[in-house]
Amino acid sequence: MTAITLRQIRKTYSSLQVIHDIDIAIASGEFLVLVGPSGCGKSTLLRMIAGLEEISGGILEIGGKVVNALPPSDRDIAMVFQDYALYPHMSVRENMAFGLKMRGTAEDTIDRRVSHAADILKIQPFLDRRPAQLSGGQRQRVAMGRAIVREPSAFLFDEPLSNLDAALRVEMRLEIAKLHNRMKATTVYVTHDQVEAMTLADRIVVLNAGRIEQIGQPLDLYHRPASLFVARFIGSPT
Ligand code: ADP
Ligand code: MG
């Protein structure tokens, strides 16, 4: 089953076109990774899926429904940002509960979901702390927890690990892989780290200046890169 469909998706900032007629069908439960050099349009594409950026042309479907005109809150997806975007004045628990509260979710449901997500992410001991009292890795877990409690049909990640040091990056990458194996939620994951792409992805999309250079399974791209550009990005022997 297809979870998210992009048909001829385009993005123009004033006269500058940064995304050119992108077609992708993302399967339900698929872990799709977007890679490409800085400025190639990864964040823009992700933000259009999230509803944080207006779509200039084309059709975006989530769960079989056209969502072009729907606000983020009506798209049944949750986004995890690189800078965590946590509320500094709220505790971890409040950060995780906030989105659900805004939607009027019942208190006991909120408590149950927060507690469950905190268990999965091993952040139970920090629930009453403020973000400033946490390490980078712990903050990233909270940001993921905030997405999980919404129980969305899909998760969007924009370079979630790029602010972490190398050791933590490895740990969190394994954590995200475990989480995906457990939840099997549709995921679109932006990174410029080829190890993350190769190990996490069911399929990788290589973007080049707003166009798809190649799309395929990690080993396909590795062994049969369509261009030198892809080979360089994936780290294929050339
Ligand atoms: P990536 O995430 O791959 O680094 P982005 O999606 O952030 O790339 O940016 C793609 C292109 O769109 C870049 O050329 C960037 O300068 C441009 N861009 C991004 N956001 C805006 C904006 N709000 N206004 C104008 N240009 C933008
Ligand atoms: Mg970006």
Tens digit of pLDDT for each residue in 35-66? 999 999 999 999 999 999 999 999 999 999 99
- With the C-alpha atoms ordered 218, 194, 9, 188, is the resulting torsion angle positive or negative? positive
Q: Is it the case that residue 115 has pLDDT exceeding 90?
A: yes
| Structure token digits, residue 93 | 């628990």
| Structure token digits, residue 231 | 């080979």
Of all protein residues, the one whose alpha carbon is nearest to atom 23 of ligand 1 is 13
pLDDT in the model for residue 164: 85
As a whole number, mean pLDDT of residues 159-178 equals 89
> In the block, which residue shows the tokens 């410029």?
192
Q: Is it the case that residue 154 has pLDDT exceeding 90?
A: yes
User: How large is the C-alpha radius of gyration of the chain?
Assistant: 18
Residue pair 76/63 in contact (Cβ under 8 Å)? The answer is yes
Q: pLDDT band for 83, please (50, 70, 90 cuts).
A: confident
Nearest Cα to Cα of residue 32 among 202, 198, 216, 217: 202
| More confidently predicted of 19 and 175 | 19
CA of 214 to the centre of ligand 1 (A): 20
Model-level pTM greater than 0.90? yes
pLDDT in the model for residue 51: 96
Q: What is the spatial distance between Cα 179 and Cα 160, in angstroms, rounded to a whole number?
A: 14
- Give the environment of ion ligand 2: residues with CB less than 5 A: 43
pLDDT in the model for residue 165: 87
Q: Is it the case that residue 139 has pLDDT exceeding 80?
A: yes
82 lines ligand 1 (CB under 6 A): no
Q: With a cut of 0.90, is the ipTM above it? A: yes
- What average pLDDT is seen over the chain? 94
Q: pLDDT band for 235, please (50, 70, 90 cuts).
A: confident
Q: pLDDT band for 155, please (50, 70, 90 cuts).
A: very high
Q: pLDDT band for 86, please (50, 70, 90 cuts).
A: very high
As a whole number, mean pLDDT of residues 108-115 equals 97
97 in helix, strand or coil?
Answer: helix
Of all protein residues, the one whose alpha carbon is nearest to atom 20 of ligand 1 is 44
CB atoms within 10 A of CB 135: 12
Q: What is the spatial distance between Cα 168 and Cα 175, in angstroms, rounded to a whole number?
A: 10
Residue pair 53/64 in contact (Cβ under 8 Å)? The answer is no
4 lines ligand 1 (CB under 6 A): no
| More confidently predicted of 24 and 73 | 24
Q: Is it the case that residue 24 has pLDDT exceeding 90?
A: yes
Q: Is it the case that residue 148 has pLDDT exceeding 90?
A: yes
Residue pair 82/73 in contact (Cβ under 8 Å)? The answer is no
Sequence-separated (6 or more) residues with CB below 8 Å from residue 124? 115, 118
Ligand 1 atom nearest residue 46's Cα: 6
39 lines ligand 1 (CB under 6 A): yes
For residue 222, report the phi and psi dihedrals to the nearest 5 degrees.
-65, -45
Q: pLDDT band for 182, please (50, 70, 90 cuts).
A: confident
Q: Is it the case that residue 168 has pLDDT exceeding 90?
A: no
